[in-house]
Amino acid sequence: MTVAIIGGTGLTRLKGLEITHREVVHTPYGEPSGPITHGVLHGREVLFLARHGYGHTIPPHKVNYRANLWALRHLEVTRVIAVAAVGGISDAMAPGRIAFPDQIIDYTWSRHHTFFEHDLTHVTHIDFTHPYDPTLREVMIQAARVAGLDAVEQGTYAATQGPRLETAAEIRKLLRDGCDMVGMTGMPEAALARELELAYATCAVVANWGAGLRSEEITMADIEKNLDEGMERVRTLLGAFIPSL
């Protein structure tokens, strides 16, 4: 069973991956974010794809989520780890920490959010009660514990449209809605993975506090610093997670 890692902001290349080759996949839904990188990480075959492109040039609302997931499924991937930068909302979500959300609320619009649109023989409704694969989440949680990482083991991810950051009022609304973190790429990626019957789970990296939760201005310098720290934790996590699969 092949595992794929989708890298978000701050993870356009997978450190330690022994690359064997790169593969261009053409899909019925257009072109993916880039070629799929094949390699070996901690002794296991791994596929890697940079969600925003390897030059980080594709904004969240323009990512071709359908093409990305279809390409991975075409290459016989069965499990997907999605790494994503988020803003922290609840008190536990301090910048630099990693988190494994167990729920998601979709606030996006106008994205291609399903494969079930045309030439249908019947209407398909997927069960999305638990949007992340529980087994894959548990393996990541146990790996984080083994690695001694101070990870947040559950939480609700708010998926917003982007590419702008949220207003302070929007963050207060998300907090009232029960959200713990906010990102721009969680949907429709999670739902599309479910439609393709891929086991999918997210490792979120907190890049900043949500707007208005702290007095300081949100700056790209702070985001980059926090992402650097958080991505080191992701690499440590993968070192414990990949061999345990």
184 is in an annotated binding site: yes
Q: Is 181 annotated as a binding residue?
A: no
Question: Is the preceding omega at residue 131 within 30 degrees of 0, hence cis?
Answer: no
Any binding-site annotation on 27? no
Contact 49, 6 (CB under 8 A): yes
Please check if 52 is assigned to a binding site.
Answer: yes
CB 24 within 8 A of CB 38: no
Q: Which of 181, 199, 235, 244 is nearest to 81 (CA)?
A: 199
202 labeled part of a ligand binding site: no
152 close to 92: Cβ distance less than 8 angstroms: yes
Q: Which of 64, 137, 72 is nearest to 98 (CA)?
A: 137
Which residues neighbour 173 within 8 Å (Cβ) at sequence distance 6 or greater? none
Annotated binding site for phosphate: 9, 51-52, 185
Binding residues, as ranges, are 9, 51-52, 184-185
Annotated binding-site positions for substrate: 184
